[in-house]
């Protein structure tokens, strides 16, 4: 049973990655990474796992493409055209792949599914917040001190953004609670709430890191803060102004996924959820 499913996963992942690459949702390196993540999650998890992964991938790619004009005017963060590279794919999919693997070794346990769902809820929440938060009518506030800052600033949160994070987490949570291959159907609402909360915490942790220790640079030519290094989108060299130099945007996204999972594991550990 093992080999056929892994091969089926590979075939499925190849088709999705090929389509995504053609639609310019993934760069070439991003497509290779997506084949790896997709094969592991479908091959070691199963179709329920693949549905969660696809929901994240399709909804976040669609949101990246939406409202493009308004985003272009706002921030260079969106100038990349929404093509995800390997580092971005792995940052979002590594934790999920790990728990698909753990499910393979502990097929009767419920925790790999819940931890997987929490990590996907967190990265989905974060992506939705980033893509929809820019539509907030007023400037966002820094999560650490509440001071209003420019749209697109790392670590800034807004009403729309937080609402989008909750919606993004809830979409994954609804599917994960409904598709849970092991749990009793009576636990649906419980799991829905806890996966949503885990996802929201993960996304907020992402903002907290963005406002505090994430490496942030300044472009001398545009006189703007940016996450880009060593060169800005305009081509000028950027210089670091704060944060830890090793903690780039991809590391922060990985931390978001880890945090979502950690919150869920804590819920389970204290016995709120079984």
Q: Rule CB under 5 A: which residues touch Zn ion?
A: 219, 221-222, 232, 234, 236
Question: Residue 263: which of 209, 198, 204 has the closest Cα?
Answer: 198
Structure tokens at 190: 């419980």
The answer to whether the Cα torsion of 48, 19, 170, 174 is positive or negative is negative
114 or 219: CB nearest Zn ion = 219
- Which residue's CB is nearer to Zn ion, number 141 or number 219? 219
- Comparing CB distances to Zn ion, the nearer of 107 and 230 is 230
Burial class (CB in 10 A: 0-12, 13-18, 19+), 271: exposed
CB 168 within 8 A of CB 142: no
Q: Which is nearer to Zn ion, 221 or 239 (CB)?
A: 221
Which residue lies nearer to Zn ion by CB, 71 or 232? 232
Minimum distance between the CB of residue 210 and Zn ion, rounded to whole angstroms?
A: 19
CB of 230 to Zn ion, least distance (A): 12
CA atoms within 13 A on the CB side of 91: 21
Q: Which is nearer to Zn ion, 53 or 219 (CB)?
A: 219
Q: Which DSSP state fits 238?
A: P
User: Which residue number, 21 or 236, has a Cβ lying nearer to Zn ion?
Assistant: 236
Beta strands in the chain (DSSP E): 141-142, 156-157, 216-219, 224-226, 239-242
Dihedral, 234, 237, 238, 240 alpha carbons, nearest 10: 170
Least distance between Zn ion and beta carbon 234 (Å) = 3
Residue pointed to by tokens 């903002």: 207
Shortest CB 228 distance to Zn ion, Å: 8
Q: What is the 3-state secondary structure (H, E, C) of 16-29?
A: HHHHHHHCCCECHH
* Residue 226 backbone dihedrals phi, psi, to 5 degrees: -150, 160
Closest contact distance (angstroms) between CB of 76 and Zn ion is 7
Q: How far is the CB of 69 from Zn ion (least distance, A)?
A: 21
Residue 218 CB, shortest distance to Zn ion, in Å, is 9
- Cβ neighbours of residue 237 under 8 Å, at least 6 residues apart? 220, 230, 231
């Amino acid at each position: 049973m093992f080999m056929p499913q892994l091969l089926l996963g590979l075939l499925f992942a190849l088709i999705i990655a090929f389509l995504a690459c053609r639609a310019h949702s993934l760069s070439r390196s991003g497509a290779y990474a997506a084949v790896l993540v997709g094969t592991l999650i479908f091959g070691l998890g199963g179709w329920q796992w693949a549905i969660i992964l696809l929901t994240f991938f399709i909804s976040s790619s669609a949101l990246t493409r939406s409202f493009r004009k308004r985003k272009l005017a706002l921030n260079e963060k969106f100038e990349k055209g929404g093509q995800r590279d390997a580092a971005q794919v792995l940052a979002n999919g590594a934790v999920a792949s790990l728990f698909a693997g753990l499910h393979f070794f502990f097929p009767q346990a419920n925790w790999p599914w819940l931890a997987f769902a929490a990590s996907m809820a967190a990265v989905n929440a974060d992506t939705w917040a980033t893509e929809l938060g820019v539509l907030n009518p007023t400037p966002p506030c820094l999560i650490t001190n509440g001071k209003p800052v420019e749209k697109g600033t790392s670590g800034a949160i807004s009403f729309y953004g937080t609402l989008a994070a909750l919606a993004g987490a809830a979409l994954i949570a609804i599917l994960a609670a409904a598709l849970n291959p092991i749990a009793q159907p009576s636990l649906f609402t419980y799991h829905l709430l806890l996966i949503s909360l885990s996802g929201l915490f993960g996304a907020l942790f992402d903002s907290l890191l963005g406002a505090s220790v994430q490496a942030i640079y300044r472009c001398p030519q545009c006189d703007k803060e940016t996450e880009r290094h060593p060169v800005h989108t305009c081509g000028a060299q950027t210089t670091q102004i704060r944060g830890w130099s090793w903690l780039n945007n991809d590391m922060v996204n990985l931390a978001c996924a880890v945090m979502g999972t950690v919150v869920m594991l804590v819920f389970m550990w204290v016995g709120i959820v079984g």
